Structure 1
């Protein structure tokens, strides 16, 4: 008796899957369809990036993407440059060349981490933050090739870069 019930449930499950498969495939394909849309932020330029972490305003032109995602480097972004969505690593950005075409370029990408409040007693305008040592961050969303921030005072040349204690206190 149990075998017959199991066989019936398996048969019904397979039939339901066969009926649902075309609709599911169509939905997945239509979700990846790229349209020529304007940026959700400036509303003037063409959107060339989709960010799945910035919903509901997830479409960005290259300028708006650079300004926002400089601080949110671990967001899940896709480029729309070549007519289909392509995963965009944090160290990549989209720029517009002289002819108006968009291309993918690399940029320095810093690990998001709290910097010290006071590096030295000099003016805060003398502080520069640059890319330091290259690191690899592996988390649930994948691998990220980043750089540790290197904070430098231009006046007294004092520097700071995060150590193990700083990384642990920031949740890494």
Structure 2
């Protein structure tokens, strides 16, 4: 075989090998594209949340960190920023990028979205397809308009229903179903109507309920120490609901008698209640028992002083703390005024002392702090100061100077190593 024939043979072999390699590469690319398409078809769609104004217009806002960084950029690197805008880095985060949410369950997410839209618009959104539900969520102006129209159309019916609720009428007691109902309790649903006898039985055990009398032809709020007898309002004694021991001495329990002790103001989220501390007395050995500081703490109350004449439900302190967390600028005076308004709303009288409340709240917080340390709870982080300050006092320096130079006794700090400056 000549050299030219050998050369042609080698050329054909090389071409066949190259062609086979090209085919293998193309087949690998086709397989990769098929895999990517299958993954995209199986992956859930991503939802992008966008901020809008009340008119439905988009709000283009940058994150706080991006705004802070942009203010620190000097003129020396402006050219570099311009180059970065011209040739952006794909790996760098976009300051105007939107938050992407990929739900694990698209159907469940769409059901939650449809329910939230129904709550927002009030018209019971019924979308035949998920695409219709998503398209409805984008039209904020239409949803707000539909919601306003729905409320406007239903307002006369709501007014009539609210007026009918205040109609006293002649109804039977929903406890015994024999006597005429003379009291309505707002906390005893689903059977709120009571006759005079059933009211005494029930609310001797639950004196903190909010009750209304219907003896005068309209509902009149009643304090806990008022009952209805023969269609007249009469005064009675109601005890603070605290734990009472089963036995205080070695005598039989039949010898124990419950009698009213000292008068105490109980502060709850519904305001102030004037009640009496329960006191047990043995008729045989004359032994007595009354709840002290330890007893009221076991019953989830907190004393205003160690020789208390006022006690607070700890839920009041917990609620005030949570409100201060959510709104650091909330005034203690405003919170107590709200409690005073609720006191008057439910037919009771009396004011809540701001100084006693503040001191007692600080002592409660100190005890909670010590308990967290013992239980190894995560330390407190002030939401008003971290990571960015949310609340400031415009006259802080003036207050500091005034308290520092005031001629008054220096109050000791609750925690060791701390000094109170006002």
Task: Answer yes or no: same fold by TM over 0.5.
Answer: yes
Q: Is the 8 A contact 2:243 2:299 kept in 1?
A: yes
Name which of 155, 163, 173 aligns with 1:29. Answer: 163
Query: Which residues in structure 2 correspond to 1:108-119 (within 5 Å)?
Result: 108-119=237-248
- Cα–Cα, structure 1 residues 3 and 105, in superposed 2: closer, same or farther, change >3 Å? closer
Name stretches of at least 5 consecutive residues in structure 2 with no aligned partner: 1-51, 58-140, 302-422
User: Quick check: 1:135 aligned with 2:269?
Assistant: no
Name which of 178, 183, 190 aligns with 1:56. Answer: 190
Distance 2:267 2:53 in 1: 47
Query: Which residues in structure 2 correspond to 1:1-172 (within 5 Å)?
Result: 4-5=55-56, 12=145, 17-96=151-230, 102-172=231-301
| Secondary structure class of the residue paired with 2:205 | coil
Deviation at 1:63, TM superposition (A): 0.8
- Cα–Cα, structure 1 residues 51 and 121, in superposed 2: closer, same or farther, change >3 Å? same
- Cα–Cα, structure 1 residues 131 and 3, in superposed 2: closer, same or farther, change >3 Å? closer
Name stretches of at least 5 consecutive residues in structure 1 with no aligned partner: 97-101
Task: Count residues with an aligned counterpart.
Answer: 167
| Secondary structure class of the residue paired with 1:70 | helix
Deviation at 1:142, TM superposition (A): 2.1
Deviation at 1:95, TM superposition (A): 0.3
Name the TM-score, length of structure 1 as normaliser: 0.86
Q: Aligned-pair RMSD on alpha carbons?
A: 2.3
Name the TM-score, length of structure 2 as normaliser: 0.37
- Cα–Cα, structure 1 residues 3 and 42, in superposed 2: closer, same or farther, change >3 Å? closer
* Structure with a larger share of its residues in helix: 2
Distance 2:197 2:295 in 1: 31
Distance 1:164 1:139 in 2: 18
| Secondary structure class of the residue paired with 1:105 | strand
Q: Is the 8 A contact 2:243 2:298 kept in 1?
A: no
- Bigger relative CO (Cα 8 Å, ≥ 6 apart): 1
